[in-house]
Amino acid sequence: MGLYVETVIDTDMEILWERTQDPARHQSWDLRFTSISYLPRVEGEPQRFRYATRLLPLLWIAGTGVSAGERQRSDGTRVSALQFASAHPLSLLAEGSGYWRYVPDRNRIRFLTGYDYRPRWGRCGAVADRLVFRPLMGWATAWSFDRLRLWCERGTHPRAALARALGESALRLALVIVALLASPVAPLALAAGTAVLAALLPPLPGTPAARRCRRIPPGRARTPQLLATLESS
Q: By C-alpha distance, which of 27, 94, 39 is closest to 67?
A: 39
CA distance 100 to 80: 5
| Number of domains observed in the structure of the chain | 2
pLDDT at 42: 83
CA distance 170 to 146: 20
pLDDT at 27: 96
Q: How many of the other CB atoms lie within 10 Å of CB of 200?
A: 8
Q: Are residues 228 and 166 in the same domain?
A: no
| Percentage of residues of the chain with pLDDT beyond 70 | 91
8-47: pLDDT as tens digits:
999 999 999 999 999 999 999 999 999 999 999 888 788 9
117-148: pLDDT as tens digits:
999 999 999 999 999 999 999 999 999 999 99
pLDDT at 135: 95
156 touches 146 (CB < 8 A): no
Task: State the amino acid at position 187 in one-letter form.
Answer: P
Q: Are residues 128 and 23 in the same domain?
A: yes
Q: Are residues 94 and 197 in the same domain?
A: no
Q: Which residue range forms the structural domain that includes residue 181?
A: 157-205
CATH code of the domain containing 37: 3.30.530.20
Q: Are residues 30 and 134 in the same domain?
A: yes
In this predicted structure, the answer to whether residue 184 has a pLDDT above a threshold of 70 is no
Let me know if 51 is exposed, middle or buried by CB neighbors in 10 A (0-12, 13-18, 19+).
Answer: buried
Mean pLDDT along residues 163-175:
89
Query: E-assigned strands of 78-193?
Result: 78-85, 93-105, 108-119
CA distance 27 to 37: 9
CA distance 174 to 169: 9
Q: Are residues 18 and 128 in the same domain?
A: yes
Q: Are residues 10 and 104 in the same domain?
A: yes
Confidence label for 202 from pLDDT (cuts 50, 70 and 90)? confident
In this predicted structure, the answer to whether residue 186 has a pLDDT above a threshold of 60 is no
